[in-house]
Amino acid sequence: MLGNISEVFFGLILLIWGADRFVHGAAAMARNLGVAPLMIGLTIVSFATSAPEILVSVVASLRGESDLAIGNAIGSNIANIGLVLGAVALIRPIELKSATLRREMPALLAVSLLTVALFLDSQLNRIDGFVLLTGLVIVVIWLVRLGLRSSSTDPLQADFEAEIPKGMKMKAAVIWLVVGLAALLFGAELLVDGAIQIARAVGVSEIVIGITLVALATSLPELAVSLVSAIRGEFGLAIGNIVGSNIFNLLAVVGIAAVIQPAVLPPTVLSLHIFVMVAFTLVLFAMTYEYDGRATISRFEGFALVFAFLAYVTYVVLQNVRIGG
């Protein structure tokens, strides 16, 4: 067990570092190619911050452990809203000023509902996977058009402008992209192998390990980026990172898992986990809606999100320990 925990730990370190280098290299490459910062943030950065989940999904599915991949996607979306966004709001109340981000919120809700619809027959086949990957292409095209139409005065533009690397040579950007991808792949291998062995040792299902341990691990890059953004006052970047990552988690992570390895979903996915994910998404939508001309997530709301996340994880762990015992 100690060896498996070590695998998860070192895999996590590689995922965090690799994700940072991968995002760094990809964003710098795009800037060198003349892509506007807002478009880089909406597409490339959002996709790159989901790289840990995507790589874990690929590795788990290739090993025939698609439950781990699906659990990772669902759990990461719950953790991104409950833990990451809640922790950010606890540090500093979040004021959403970006019109671009407000347009992304309904897209996240629509993608979540699409995923629920595909889950209703309690299985994911390759057709479902191709539907999600087609949705991914449509969303990327929509985000590109949204970036082109968005006003240059949108606060999100300034946030991305400040964060995307400047002056990095193309050769250095490519090197960091490749090094980051290699670290992500190796880290995903270690994390998946350790997580599977831990699940078998404690007698719980891969879906539970994916929703709890693996999801928390792959959400740590988002937590780090969002906390730093909030401390700097870049609230648009903090929320945009979470919204974009959640969209890509469902479309790319679940889509890739279904195409590689079709799966029959455990009953608890429909009866609990997917319901909780949609509930957190609806809460995020409600919190960021402009009721009085302002959209603010207060410290109290941040506390409520973190508390709800911890209560959910505690319930899942205790339920499965009791069943396992």
Give backbone dihedrals phi and psi of 196, rounded to 5 degrees, phi first: -65, -45
Distances (CA, A) of 324 to 74, 90, 213, 268, 313: 22, 35, 17, 15, 16
Q: For domain 2-320, give the CATH number.
A: 1.20.1420.30
* Intra-chain end-to-end CA distance of the chain, in Å: 18
Sole residue written with tokens 């015992």:
325
Can you give the residue ranges of every domain in the chain? 2-320
What region, left, alpha or beta, does residue 324 occupy, with left being phi > 0 and alpha being psi -120 to 50 degrees? alpha
Q: What is the pLDDT of residue 3?
A: 83
Q: Which of 265, 290, 322, 249 is nearest to 78 (CA)?
A: 249
Q: Write out the chain's pLDDT in tens, 325 residues.
A: 788 889 888 988 898 888 888 888 888 888 888 877 777 777 777 777 788 888 888 888 888 888 888 999 999 999 999 999 999 888 888 877 766 677 788 899 999 999 999 999 999 999 999 999 999 999 989 888 877 776 566 666 766 676 677 788 999 989 998 998 899 889 888 988 888 888 778 778 888 888 888 888 888 877 877 777 777 777 667 777 788 889 999 999 999 999 999 989 888 888 899 999 999 999 988 888 765 556 778 899 999 999 999 999 999 988 876 554 4
Say if CB 173 and CB 25 are below 8 A apart: yes
Which stretch of DSSP H or E encloses residue 187? helix 170-202
Give backbone dihedrals phi and psi of 297, rounded to 5 degrees, phi first: -105, 110
Structure tokens that stand for 142 in this block: 């929509």
Give the global pTM.
0.87
Q: Which of 65, 88, 108 is nearest to 236 (CA)?
A: 88
